[in-house]
Amino acid sequence: MTIETLDLAIGYPGHEVGSGISLAAGPAAVLCLLGPNGSGKTTLFKTLLGLLPSRGGRVLLAGEALEDLPRTEIARRVAYVPQAHAAPFAYPALEVVLMGRTAHLGLFTQPGEADREAARTALARLHIDDLAEADYTRLSGGQRQLVLIARALAQETSVLIMDEPTASLDFGNQTLVLQQIAGLAADGLTVILSTHDPDHAFAVGTDAALLHEGRVRATGAPAVALTAEALSSVYGVDVRVEGLADGRTVCVPSLARGGDPQE
C-alpha cells in the first residue's frame, strides 16, 4: 500500500511545526527519515497515524484521504512501532503481540483462537516464537523491539511506521532489528522509519528524506539525498560519505583536532 503526503503542513493549534512536506513510500520500500532533534519527525509520524490533524495539505493511504477514513480503518492499514520500552506489567510476549489484534476486534470482544494464531504467526515470522511465554519485562532491548514489531505484524496492516526502532540498542541488536526490517520490506510491506544514523539508511533504505526545521531539505535514494554536503549542513558537523569496496556506503564524521599541542 502506498502512503504519501502532498504539501503537508504539520503542528499543533497555534504552532506550526513544518510545512511543504511531500513524500511517498510504496510496497517493498523502506523510507528512512533523518533530521536533528526538533526537526518535526515525531509530529509528522503523529500526523501520518491520524493522531494529529494536518494543518494543511493531505495524507493519502492508497489514494484515499486519511481524514476521510474512520479510526478503525486507519488501524487496519497502518501499524506503529514505538521505541522499545519496559511494560509496567509482566505480560508474556505472546500477550503483548496479541494486543495488535485490537483493530480487528469489536467493542468488549475477547481475542479468539484466530487472533492468537495471528500473534503466534507474527512471532514466528521474526524467528522469536520461542519467546512466546517469556516475561516481556525481562527480555533484552533487542528482543523487546522485535516483540513490538511482531505486535505490529499481528495487526495485519500493509504499512509500518517505526519510531527510531534501533534507539538505545547495542550494535548486535541494532543489526538484528535492521535485518528484520529489510526482510519485511522484501516481503512487500511499506516501511517508514526514523533514525539518527545515516548508515542505517544506507544499509536498509530504498529512499531517504532529510528533515530540518520542519521542511524536507533533501529526498530520494539514500545516496542521492544523504550527501556529505546535505548532512553537514543540516547537522552542523563535517562528515564524509564514502563508498566501500563491497558496494556499501558509510557516513564518517570528520573529527579534526583544533591544533597540534606540540606546535
Residue ranges of the domains in the chain?
3-253
Distances (CA, A) of 102 to 10, 73, 78, 89, 119: 28, 12, 13, 18, 11
**Please, how many CA atoms are within 13 Å of residue 182, restricted to the half-sphere of its CB?**
12
C-alpha cell at position 18: 513544518
pLDDT recorded at residue 168: 80
Q: Which CATH class is domain 3-253?
A: alpha beta
pTM assigned to the model: 0.90
C-alpha cell at position 98: 496479541
pLDDT recorded at residue 164: 93
The tens digit of pLDDT for each residue in 224-253 reads 999 999 999 999 999 999 999 999 999 998
The tens digit of pLDDT for each residue in 24-37 reads 999 999 999 999 99
Residue 259, pLDDT > 70, answer no
DSSP for 172-218, written as a single string: HHHHHHHHHHHHHHHTT-EEEEE-S-HHHHHHH-SEEEEEETTEEEE
Which residue is listed with cell 538484528? 176
